[in-house]
Structure 1
Amino acid sequence: MHGYRGGSYGLDEPRSLRDRARRYALLPLRIFLGVTFVYAGLDKLTDSAFLSASGTGSIGATLDAVRGSAAIPGLVDLALKSPEGFGYAIAIGELLVGLGTLVGLWSRLAALGGALISLSLWLTVSWQTEPYYYGNDLVYLVAWLPLLGGAAEFSADAFRASRRRRSR
């Protein structure tokens, strides 16, 4: 088979519209999650109220508010030991996950990070949301799962894999 030159760096050329659709099916999800997590991380990092231990809109006030209704209150207690540190960890984690997802660099690791962030937020902050489908953290968790397979199209991972194959 011929190497496909349209962004997949040496993968077999798609033969039909169905093959092309299958190949690019996860690209919109990857772009959406990447942009959303970059935005969420930057939004938190630039919001001085969020990165405070107390006060309206702070991570500390949010954690205090959900302490009694979290699925795993121990996670909230751990975060409450250093609310600012936890806020920075979440924000920087979201930023790195989003960038990794958009670029497709270490995409499986980025997807795992996104899933773990979403899982931790679901088990703490949005656990009490009723009905469950009003909470978005569970949806984000499920959306990350298909990306655990990696980013094949338009990704740094695919480019690096292609270069390794060509050098052999």
Structure 2
Amino acid sequence: MTHRMHTDTHTPYLDGGRSWRDAAGRYALLPLRVFLGVTFIYAGLDKLTDSAFMKDAGSGSVGDMMRAVRDSSAIPAMVDMALENPVAFGYAIAIGEVAVGIGTLVGLLARAAALGGALISLSLWLTVSWASDPYYYGNDLAYLMAWLPLLLAGAPMFSLDAALRARRRRVGGYR
């Protein structure tokens, strides 16, 4: 005699007999991936195309922004390092944001992309938005927290990582 768990026959099943809750759990990180991917791509491209931002000094420049937050940051030495070459720092952040955004959106090296996003958000929180009072007015801490589930879970669905894993299993005969 086989033992079968009782299932509600009115529960919709998706994905080979799993309940809708199981399927929803598998897809739960997709909205976060799309939001963070698009946002970081946009943020990076916005910086790269803003002629005022990529300057050592002047209204809206990365240099003036870093000088303005230096004394209120959690780690002024981080800001001092950025101020050694503010334009290079601006390019590093912008290119990093684009790379993280693309990796997150397409799910390629998703955990590495999430780590990059978390590190960018952490560095911006400790410098630019550290003085936000109350703390929840600063968005960098919220972005840091948003990256953590993706860092832990990766991109198991609709991702190049998942496609590559499936291909390796097929080619290698693994299940």
Provide TM-score, normalisation by structure 2: 0.88
| Separation (CA, whole Å) in 1 of partners of 2:96 and 2:138 | 20
Offset from partner CA, 1:74-94 (integer Å, 9 cap, x none)? 000000000000000000000
Same amino acid, percent of matched pairs: 70
What is the CA-CA distance between 1:71 and the residue it aligns to? 0.2
Match of 1:9 in 2: none
Contact 1:14–1:20 (CA under 8 A) maintained in structure 2: no
Offset from partner CA, 1:76-134 (integer Å, 9 cap, x none)? 00000000000000000000000000000000000000000000000000000000000
- Name the count of aligned residue pairs: 157
Q: 5+ unaligned residues in a row in structure 2: which ranges?
A: 1-14
* 1:64 correspondence with 2:67: yes
* 1:26 correspondence with 2:64: no
CA RMSD of aligned residues (A): 0.9
Provide TM-score, normalisation by structure 1: 0.92
Q: Which fold has the larger relative contact order, with Cα–Cα distance below 8 Å and residues 6 or more apart in sequence?
A: 1
Q: Secondary structure at the match of 2:103?
A: helix
| Separation (CA, whole Å) in 1 of partners of 2:108 and 2:79 | 31
| Separation (CA, whole Å) in 1 of partners of 2:70 and 2:120 | 18
What is the CA-CA distance between 1:14 and the residue it aligns to? 6.0
Q: 5+ unaligned residues in a row in structure 1: which ranges?
A: 1-11
Runs of 4+ residues over 4 Å off in structure 1? none
Contact 1:119–1:137 (CA under 8 A) maintained in structure 2: yes
The aligned amino acid for 2:64 is A
Cα distance change, pair 84–20 in 1 and its aligned pair in 2 (3 A):
same
Trace 1:19-168 onto structure 2 (pairs within 5 A).
19-148=22-151, 149-168=153-172
Q: Secondary structure at the match of 1:67?
A: helix
| Separation (CA, whole Å) in 1 of partners of 2:52 and 2:70 | 19
Match of 1:6 in 2: none
